[in-house]
Structure 1
Amino acid sequence: MSTLVEDNPAKNRFEILVDGALGGFTAYLPRGEVLVFTHTEVGSEFRNLGVGAALIRATLDQVRERGGRVVPRCPFMASFIDRHPEYAELVTTQP
């Protein structure tokens, strides 16, 4: 299974492509260097395959590379960050 995560600023979301098909996305509201993540969705055919975790990990890695911060209002992203404290420094409460 080949995956690629890309920012789609026109839709305010990061998308994961799985073997070329849209597997899911995590939506955000841009607030300067801070992205407020509001919702994550993974297609039913891609659930329980690690696609959601791969999406969030790659999204957070890209935010880190840009020097940005996140407000994880999405419960899935917040839970991922709780389980992976290496991303905790990206979290801010200031949107």
Structure 2
Amino acid sequence: MPQTPPAPDETTQVRLAAEAHRYEILVEGTVAGFTEFRDHGSRRVFFHTVVDDAFAGRGLASILVREALEHVRAGGMRLVAVCPYVAKYLTKHDGYRDITDEATDEVRAWLAAELDA
């Protein structure tokens, strides 16, 4: 049975930082981690997720990724998980299969070029 990540509480917030191409998780106003993406047409390609060591062990990465994926769904987009953490999350939470596309070699090459630009 898939595990349910903890819910955000009054001290935890996930926000889209569009100018930085990432979703951030804040704890009491401090950025504790983020998941980075680039948009490729109607697909949001996630490629890197990190939570600061000072905030480790609280389930923040799960909260962050779940909220980011819900935002993708609400926006009518599809998602691609190049990021190992996001890919692992998707194996444990199959409720996103309907909006998930494979991380193909073409997508990986596009992402590499996009990040080098």
Which of the five TM-score ranges fits, normalised by the shorter chain? Answer: over 0.9
Provide the residue aligned with 1:42 in structure 2: 51
Which of the pair is proportionally richer in helix? Answer: 2
Gaps of 5+ in 1: none
Structure 2 residue corresponding to 1:58, chosen from 54, 67, 86: 67
Please tell me whether Structure 1 or Structure 2 has the larger radius of gyration of its CA atoms.
2
Task: Name segments (4+ residues, structure 1) moved above 4 Å.
Answer: none
Q: Which of structures 1 and 2 has the larger relative contact order (alpha carbons within 8 angstroms, sep 6+)?
A: 1
Which of the pair is proportionally richer in strand? Answer: 1
CA contact (8 A) 1:27 1:38 kept: yes
Number of aligned residue pairs: 95
Provide the residue aligned with 2:93 in structure 1: 84
Gaps of 5+ in 2: 1-8, 108-117
- RMSD after superposition: 1.3
Normalized against structure 1, the TM-score is what?
A: 0.93
CA contact (8 A) 1:38 1:73 kept: yes
Which amino acid letter does the alignment assign opposite residue 51 of structure 1?
A: L
